[in-house]
Amino acid sequence: MSEFLFPTYREWLQEYKQWSWDDYDRARWDPSTIFSHVSPLVREVLSLPAQRDYYRPERAALFLETLYDQPPPMKHGMLVFATWMVQQADIHRPTSLMGAEICRGMRGLYKELGVPRPAKEELEKLLVSYKYMSMFEPCAEQVFSEWLRDTEPTGVPPLAAWLRREREST
């Protein structure tokens, strides 16, 4: 069980249609295929009992790590999950705050993550409309950037292992 809310396929699809992302073949990657690939990834990264001891920025950074190596259709689908989460502010604030932390990271790291500039600008509008532009210290963007800088040549260890090692060394 997760402490966050997740969209149903129809809720996700409604949000998906509002976000343009033109750098993949939409005939090959229909929305139901994207959702069926992305939903388990998102639920896994945000629901792992082993990850529950991390604060929001670290957990959002785990989401960004998962997004990092995905093809464009999966990045699009994961962005849609995060933006749907932001919009749950009136229903479930923790879900909304987690979505905002993920979206801030995606906006700040759009080049590294392969997020198209128009999507970055739309993320900014969404965050401003919910008054979520301010960042926490540390923020997911900082955590992910530091991990990427430390592990770029080898790509190992995974972010979760790197976070545990960093925690033990402090």
State the pLDDT confidence band at 110, using cuts at 50, 70 and 90.
very high
Asked whether the beta carbons of 18 and 119 are under 8 A apart, the reply is: no
Q: Label each residue of 87-154 as H, E or C.
A: CCCCCCHHHHHHHHHHHHHHHHCHHHHCCCHHHHHHHHHHHHHCCCCCCCCCCHHHHHHHHHHHHCCC
Residues recorded for the chain: 170
* Mean pLDDT of all residues in 2-24: 89
Please give the pLDDT value at position 164. Answer: 81
State the pLDDT confidence band at 36, using cuts at 50, 70 and 90.
very high
Coil, helix or strand at residue 133? coil
**Averaged pLDDT of the chain:** 87
pLDDT at 55 over 70: no
pLDDT at 54 over 60: no
Q: What is the pTM (predicted TM-score) of this model?
A: 0.89
Checking 127-135 for CB contacts under 8 A at 24+ apart, the result is 127/86, 127/100, 127/103, 130/86, 130/87, 130/89, 130/96, 130/100, 132/86, 132/96, 132/97, 132/100, 132/103, 132/104, 133/104, 135/104
Percent of the chain topping pLDDT 70: 91
pLDDT at 6 over 60: yes
Residue ranges per structural domain of the chain: 9-169
* Mean pLDDT of all residues in 72-76: 94
Please give the pLDDT value at position 78. Answer: 96
